[in-house]
């Protein structure tokens, strides 16, 4: 599951694929899958290859042939590490824990942070660290500062908001650019404000959706990774619609997490390039 | 395809199913499928049955046992008639014409109305009347008055807006309560305003949807009949997203039309009860 | 989630809906949802209703008005109880355990039986009984006899084969007619024999499916409850196809279990009537 | 819609991407999308590029750097041409004709061949040549010889079997290796023999599928291009299942045709590599 993967992103210019593959060839690396895409003069390339161990010398050599500002990432031969943040809802966390337990996701969970204790018991079942960081009697900034200290001490590759229900400040999320993903419900049309499933019921929607995305200052408006819907009919009420929403949320978040941790995603402004 | 169908809608009260089925039983009609649903004290029932011809005497007898204000509909042994309204886009019209030609939709098309002539040739291929009603040099009300006269003279069971791109006034649509359906694109999130596919592209959506709904004063906000989405990826641009949108629109509109013309839909406020 | 539900199945004859609803009306029960279907002269009806407690007197009265041999089931105001049988694979069991833990399935798990110990640890996490029944040094009949004794002592409403990988004899499965469900992979086309995912890969299939069904003598050929597929592309190998197969299997089995335990399924020969 | 596309297929060896892109670079061609995949030591690459007109000199130069036996295809700046073969059923043909008429498929239809006249009228509506080749009083070989002469005189890029219901001999299909596609229904499980929809109904399937594939000697067993399913429930009978089958067949065939004519498909033994 952990392949040699190279990701390159830079200003487009002729000869990039030729140049990059030349460096790989010189290092006796054989390309087994190569995907490349250019959009608005921006070049994105993901390469899976076989061969002897590589590392910083390869990156250094690539830098010499790529335009200034190129972003080069080399997937390491280990599962990505994640830290999960939750509040009360169990469905996304539970799905990730079970998949993690049986190695069906290419990740290693370093722990779970919550502003509540209701999911502590579930996390403990899987012998994983549960960090309770109460927001009681704290300003938002003080609470976030505590969480930030914790995250920095654990140092995961990615942070996964698996139904963490508190708004995060721009100051906080900006520290995790491209490193933090979130899941939220989606509707056609969209419903703003409280009780979205009641609104969806009142509106008589026939599909319920979920969107997994990177977290940016714009909260639920970051670059989209995965979207999916499921059908509901007139017998659904607000409560059963919410259950359908949970079902699709856990599917969508696990898919997004898999894409992320297999090094398949590029950020391109507010869009994502996904090589799957 | 044209079964004996009875639809009853009224204030809920105990004994309704018993009472209605008693009347059918008395008329020696055998029920083969019966669906009933109660919501907010409103009773909806759809019954397919076999037996000798029935008609207004059955309705009259049902009225005597049902609460005042009950709405009773008896599906007739003929395809529903429809009139289609279009502007420039061919995809929904084309799909309906082909299905109609080969009897894959339980409808009879009485004609097509358009404010443009670009689809006249297509309609003529299928030997159906094409009515060009130009909006040039007319106020919106004058234009609608001409269309209204035309529709009333043709007297279809339903009017299908198959990408008719002009806004209709409340005065116009209110004459077609529950008798006029529309198709429009849908997105997660929703995009208001011009160039929705460009907005969808800029936002990096991963699904493109379509919604078929009854037309009410609120325009694209009437009771929803069918919703569906298809996936798009980062290689899609605004133009190919629009093509995906067309693909899903024609599927959704044909589905909605089928449900409508098989007498499967009840209006329940701004929601629909659909017995499929 | 636990509604008053009545299920009636019998030879079709005119007046059945009228008769049954008359009995409910007499007992001051108000029908909120009623679904009825006739096929090949067989009548199936599912009714949700509100009102005072009912029980055997209602059934007795219904028997007096229904054709001989009618099957009458009254859903009880409690979650259905299930016993799960597994071998080595965790994905379906894990999904059910998590949903059970957080009350997202209308069931109560009484325990898990396995012919291996590899999933014992997972079951223990959720404080549920794990029954190891080794097949070592036993004939198939001896092994089944042990399991049968165990099931009879636990007396669940339903038995769920969640990737139990041993063939069951007709003598065993015939004791659980309509009471035992199974999940297995499905392909277009079907692949018989060993290593189905390798066969699917070699054949270059573009979808992988799963089927949940009642268990009958014909093994994987019993009445189908739910079927679903997911897409795979050329980058999938036999191993990742197997993972996709697991993903869709757990979704399909949980859906089937929900339909079963909400009293929504009738058996009709080798077909199922499902009122959802 | 008609991009500069290069497809290369050959024995895998290190440095191929580097070499090929070097040739493109030398010709001042800028790569905008590049996809490459290696399987069982076989190398497949699809490249979209921008730049001045290219042609046989580019191919000749590529040949000098590629392993012997390399297959090089250069997509031309024109829609692919197709010839359609049908029998009685209209749904796939109708969908393709409408999409062709409004330029929603990147193809140019050169004509329609049929062993019946029932679809002649439909084809004529779109001002396309209809070739009736009766099989009456002809051996299979005689009939195929007539069709072959016709196809060779028309010389399309691809032949599309859009519900052509006669078995074709190996001698015939072998002349169209990778140049002829077919659509047929698919089921879980598969149903062999007559009346597949009646068998599917009897079996109580919950999904109906369709498969588009290249035609090989093995008839319905050629390399798969697209597969998709739609849901059916217990109210479907053999006739409505057949209608659902038609709905999914036309969607699947149009998708496959689009992939084919956008130069996105490689044949890899009995599998397909599809860069979409």
* Identical fold, C4-75 and C80-274: no
pLDDT of residue A194: 78
CA distance C8 to chain A (A): 21
Give the model confidence (pLDDT) of D86-110 as tens digits: 999 999 999 999 999 999 999 999 9
CA distance B162 to B167: 13
The pLDDT-based confidence of D219 (bands split at 50, 70, 90) is low
Identify the three-state secondary structure at position D164.
coil
| D18/A25 Cβ within 8 A | yes
Is A35 within 8 Å of chain D by CB? yes
Over 90: is that where the pLDDT of C154 sits? yes
Is C28 in contact with B14 (Cβ distance < 8 A)? yes
Of residues C151 and A276, more confidently modeled: C151
| D73 three-state secondary structure | strand
Partner residue opposite A273 with nearest CB, options B225, B234, B268: B234
Strands A158-161 and D71-75: unpaired
Q: Is the CB of residue D107 less than 8 Å from the CB of residue D101?
A: no
Q: C-alpha angle B109/B112/B117, rounded to 5°?
A: 150
Q: Do B224 and A209 touch (CB under 8 A)?
A: no
Q: Measured between alpha carbons, how far is B146 from B139 in angstroms, rounded to an integer?
A: 11
Which residue in chain B has the smallest CA separation from D92? B98
- What is the spatial distance between Cα C47 and Cα C54, in angstroms, rounded to a whole number? 14
Nearest to A230 by CA among C222, D59, C228: C228
Residue B54 has a pLDDT of 80
Please give, rounded to a whole number of angstroms, the shortest distance from the CA of D196 to a CA of chain A. 28
Q: What pLDDT does D10 receive?
A: 97
Domain residues of chain C, as ranges?
4-75, 80-274
Q: Spell out where chain C has E strands.
A: 4-11, 30-39, 42-50, 71-75, 80-86, 107-114, 130-132, 158-161, 180-186, 207-214, 224-231, 265-268, 271-274
Facing residue for C98 by CB, picked from A94, A251, A276: A94
pLDDT, tens digit (0-9, with 9 covering 90-100), for A101-133: 999 999 999 999 999 999 999 999 999 999 999
Answer with the residue of higher pLDDT: A53 or C184: C184
- Chain B contact for D87 (CB, 8 A cutoff): no
Residues 45-64 of C with CB under 8 A from B: 45
Q: Which chains touch C (3 or more CB pairs under 8 A)?
A: A, B, D
With an 8 Å Cβ cutoff, is D91 touching chain B? Answer: yes
Query: How deeply is B16 buried, as exposed, middle or buried, from its count of CB atoms within 10 A (0-12, 13-18, 19+)?
Result: buried
C253 and C228 in contact (C-beta within 8 Å)?
no
- B11 in reach of chain C (CB within 8 A): no
Indicate yes or no: CB of A95 within 8 angstroms of CB of C98: yes
Answer yes or no: is pLDDT of C255 > 70.
Answer: yes
Chain C positions touching A243 (Cβ under 8 A) are 104
Question: Distance between CA atoms of D267 and D44, rounded to whole angstroms?
Answer: 10
Is pLDDT at D201 greater than 90 in this prediction? yes
Between A241-250, C140-149, C183-192, the lowest mean confidence (pLDDT) is in: C183-192
Predicted TM-score (pTM) of this structure? 0.94
Partner-chain contact C102 A125, CB within 8 Å:
no
B104 in reach of chain D (CB within 8 A):
yes
**B125–D102 C-beta distance less than 8 A:** no
Is B36 in Cβ contact with C35 (below 8 Å)? yes
pLDDT of residue C12: 92
* Mutation to test the A interface, candidates D6, D8, D14, most A Cβ within 10 Å: D14
DSSP state of B16: H
Kindly name the residue from C95, C202, C220, C247 that is annotated as catalytic.
C220
Whether A187 sits inside 8 A of B186 (CB atoms) is no
Which residues of B fall within a CB distance of 8 Å from C12? 30
Distance from CA of C125 to the nearest CA of A (A): 5
Homologous superfamily (CATH) for C80-274: Formyl transferase, N-terminal domain (3.40.50.170)
Mean pLDDT of B35-61: 90
- Alpha-carbon distance of A161 to A181, in angstroms, equals 6
The residue-averaged pLDDT of B150-170 equals: 96
CB contact B235 to D (< 8 Å): yes
- Measured between CA atoms, the residue of chain D closest to residue B246 is D104
Q: How far is CA B1 from CA B5, B261, C166, D166, D236, in A?
A: 11, 10, 46, 29, 12
CA B82-B88-B89 angle, to 5 degrees, is 75
Query: Could you tell me which chains touch chain B, where touching means 3 or more CB pairs under 8 A?
Result: A, C, D
pLDDT tens-digit profile of B222-259? 999 999 999 999 999 999 999 999 999 999 999 999 99
Among left, alpha and beta (phi > 0; psi -120 to 50; other), residue A132 is beta
**Is the predicted pLDDT of residue B39 greater than 50, yes or no?**
yes
pLDDT of residue C1: 45
Tokens representing D103? 């330029």
C12 close to B (CB below 8 A): yes
Q: Between B221 and A47, whose confidence is greater?
A: A47
Query: Considering CB atoms only, which of A25, A30, A38 is closest to D33?
Result: A38
Query: Would you tell me which CATH number, out of the four given (3.40.190.10, 3.30.420.40, 3.30.70.260, 3.40.50.720), belongs to the domain D4-75?
Result: 3.30.70.260
- Cβ contacts of C101 on chain A, cutoff 8 Å: 90, 94, 122
User: Which residues of A fall within a CB distance of 8 Å from B203?
Assistant: 224, 270-271
pLDDT value for D189: 66
Residue C65 pLDDT = 96
Chain B: closest CA distance from residue A94 (Å):
25
State both tokens at B118.
């670009």
E strand spans, chain B: 4-11, 30-39, 42-50, 71-75, 80-86, 107-114, 130-132, 158-161, 180-186, 207-214, 224-231, 265-268, 271-274
What does the pLDDT read at residue A189?
Answer: 66
Cite the active site residues of A. 220
User: CA of A125 to nearest chain C CA: how many angstroms apart?
Assistant: 5
For residue range C11-59, what is the model confidence (pLDDT) as tens digits? 999 889 999 999 999 999 989 899 999 988 899 999 999 888 788 899 9
């Amino acid at each position: 599951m952990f392949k040699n993967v190279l990701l390159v992103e830079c200003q487009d210019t002729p000869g990039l694929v030729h140049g990059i593959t030349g460096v790989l060839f010189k290092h006796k690396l054989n390309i087994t899958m190569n995907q490349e895409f250019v959009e608005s003069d921006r070049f994105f390339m993901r390469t899976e290859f076989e061969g002897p161990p590589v590392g910083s010398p390869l990156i250094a050599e690539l830098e010499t042939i790529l335009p200034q500002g190129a972003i080069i990432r080399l997937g390491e031969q280990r599962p990505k590490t994640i830290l999960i943040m939750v509040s009360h809802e169990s469905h996304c966390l539970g799905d990730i824990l079970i998949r993690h337990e049986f190695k069906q996701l290419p990740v290693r969970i370093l722990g779970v942070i919550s502003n509540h204790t209701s999911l502590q018991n579930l996390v403990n079942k899987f012998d994983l660290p549960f960090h309770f960081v109460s927001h009681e009697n704290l300003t938002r900034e003080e609470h976030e500062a505590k969480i930030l200290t914790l995250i920095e001490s654990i140092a995961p590759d990615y942070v996964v908001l698996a139904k963490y229900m508190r708004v995060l400040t721009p100051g906080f999320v900006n520290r995790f650019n491209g490193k933090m993903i979130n899941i939220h419900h989606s509707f056609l049309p969209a419903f703003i404000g409280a009780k979205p499933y009641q609104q969806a019921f009142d509106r008589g929607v026939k599909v319920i959706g979920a969107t997994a995305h990177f977290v940016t200052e714009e909260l639920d408006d970051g670059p989209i990774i995965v979207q999916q819907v499921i059908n509901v009919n007139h017998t659904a009420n607000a409560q059963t619609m919410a259950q359908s929403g949970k079902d699709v949320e856990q599917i969508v978040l696990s898919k997004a997490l898999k894409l992320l941790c297999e090094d398949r995603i590029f950020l391109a402004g507010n869009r994502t390039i996904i090589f799957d």
